[in-house]
Structure 1
Amino acid sequence: MKSEMLSIQNLSQAKDELKKLHIEDISVSMMASKAVFCVVKLYDVHPAAANIIKQEMLALGGEAAVERGCVNMSIESSHVVIMGTLKQYLRLLSKLKMQKGYFGLDDVVKEVSGSIEALMK
C-alpha cells in the first residue's frame, strides 16, 4: 500500500480522477463536487451578511472566518474567509439567493459565483 496527495483544482480534474476508479458515471457526478476544495476571501462585507455566511457554511459542514465585531455588530464591515468544497459553495449560493436584497447578499452571491466559476470547468 502507498498513498498520494492529490491536487484537484477543478471539477474536470475531480471527475477524471474518480473515473480512474472505474465507478459508475452517476457516482462520479455525485462525488466530484466534493473533491474540489476552495478558499475565497471577501472584502468589506456587512457584518450581518458575514454572520449569515458563517452560519450557512457551518450548517453545510464548511467554515467561514469573520472579524470579531460581527457578533455584536460593532463594526461597519468585515473581511470574510470562506472555506469549503465546491458542493458546499453551490449550496451556499442557493441559500444566499433566497435572502437576496438583505445586507448586500446580492453582491456576495456575484462575488462568490465569480470566484468559483473557474472550479466548474
Structure 2
Amino acid sequence: MRREVLKIDNLSEAKRELSQIKAEEISVDIMAPKAVFRVVKLYDVHPAAANIVKQEMLAAGGEAAVARGCVNMSVDSSDVIIMGTLKQYRRLLSKLKMQKSYFGISEIVKELEEVIREMSK
C-alpha cells in the first residue's frame, strides 16, 4: 500500500479522480462536490454580514472565522475566512441570496459566485 495527497482544484478533477478508482458513476456525481475544498478570505465585511456568513456556513457544515468584535458589533468591519467544500459553498450562496440586500451581502454573493464558478469547472 502507498498513499498520495491529492490536490483537487475543481469539479472536473474531482470527477476524474473518483472515476479512475472505478467508483460507481452515480456516486461520482454525488461525491465530487465534496472533494473540492477552498479557503476564501473576504476583506472589510460589515460585522453583521460577517456573522451571517459564519452562521450560514456553519449550518452548511463548513467553517468561517470572523473578528472577535463581530459578535457584539464592537468593530466597524472584519475580514472573514471561509472554509468549505463546493457543496457547502453552494448551500451558503443559496442562503445568502435570500438576504442579499442587507449589510453588503450582495457584494459577498458576487464574490462567492465567482469562487463557485471556478470550483465548478
Give me the TM-score of the superposition, normalised by structure 2: 0.95
Q: Which residue of 1 aligns with 2:101?
A: 101
Q: Which residue of 2 aligns with 1:113?
A: 113
**C-alpha contact (below 8 Å) 2:34/2:87 kept by paired residues:** yes
**C-alpha contact (below 8 Å) 2:90/2:116 kept by paired residues:** no
How far did 1:24 drift?
A: 2.5
Q: Distance in 2 between matches of 1:51 and 1:15?
A: 33
Structure 2 residue 25 is the aligned partner of structure 1 residue 38: no
Q: Which residue of 2 aligns with 1:72?
A: 72
The one-letter code of the counterpart of 1:6 is: L
CA offsets, 1:41-95, max 9 Å, x none? Answer: 1011110110011111111211101011101001111110000001100110001
Structure 2 residue 47 is the aligned partner of structure 1 residue 47: yes
The one-letter code of the counterpart of 1:13 is: E
Gapped regions of structure 1 (runs ≥ 5): none
Percent sequence identity is 69
How far did 1:4 drift?
A: 1.1
Which runs of 4 or more aligned residues in structure 1 lie more than 4 Å from their structure 2 counterparts after TM superposition? none
Q: Which residue of 1 aligns with 2:17?
A: 17
**C-alpha contact (below 8 Å) 2:57/2:64 kept by paired residues:** yes
Gapped regions of structure 2 (runs ≥ 5): none
Q: Which residue of 2 aligns with 1:82?
A: 82
Q: Which residue of 1 aligns with 2:26?
A: 26
Q: Distance in 2 between matches of 1:30 and 1:40?
A: 23
RMSD: 1.0
Q: Distance in 1 between matches of 2:115 and 2:45?
A: 15
